[in-house]
Structure 1
Amino acid sequence: MGAEIVQLVEQAGPAVTAAVGAYGAAVLTRAQDAAADATVGLGQRILQLVWRRKDEAGRTELERVVGEAADEQDNAYSTAVLSRLLRQALQDDPALRDELAAVLPAHAPGTVNVTASGERSIAAQHIGTAFTGDGHTAPRP
């Protein structure tokens, strides 16, 4: 697998997972909501790019995989399944790589992209300790 595909999947994966988490399988056919979160909107556009390039059988398979990911309670599993789906689509369709690269924000060398999605999510490049649940108190030195 090419490094370009790996990089595209790493960039697109969090947005695709967030979109499926927000809209479920309807992400494939839903019109983009103007008020939608930027990450969710990006993920929706990415999935719809893949959707439009598939034939009838490919669309059915895409619907099945996205539906399973939407129903799954394990976010890590959903991310893995959706990344595999995206990776396969990019391997099968070189022109899709160009389309996806045009949709994704420019990735400057040395830049770190962090996405937080969901209630009480946090995003940080460098962090000591983060408490996100109720009732936690930070230990005092």
Structure 2
Amino acid sequence: MGTEVPHALWVSLVGATVVLAALIKTLFARMGIPALAGYLLLGFLLRLADLRWGLLTEPVRYAFAFLADMGVVALLFEVGLKSHPAALAQKLPRASFIWLGDITLSALFGYAGAYYGLRLPLIPSLVVATALTATSVGVSVAAWQQAINSPNGLDN
């Protein structure tokens, strides 16, 4: 009997976050701001609330991780369905140049910040540099989702 109230609070927290995410998407679209900025703000506020009240218990974290994974899968599936491979392949040379620059700069800044700024040893600094070269799939997919209605290789 005593565990029903925490479960109800966990479900309510996750449900309220999903509703807030939908509201953020609509509100930020009207303001001309990428919804991703609002999602980051919502995550930051949830983290602050967790520090204050300890809201993000293990079941809540698991639920958010599950929703995040399902969201990425759904977005990748949608992008895959609406993509034109030939048109995207034409953009590959320019995109590869940008990707290579992004990876190089991320690695250099990560390494320099860890090794010189934080004074970490060589191996941990290389790990930080490697971690920063990995592009977040969520950020990339959000950019792809915004491009879906553009003439740059995707359906309308």
- Higher helix residue share: 2
Give the structure-2-normalised TM-score: 0.29
Query: TM-score under structure 1 normalisation?
Result: 0.31
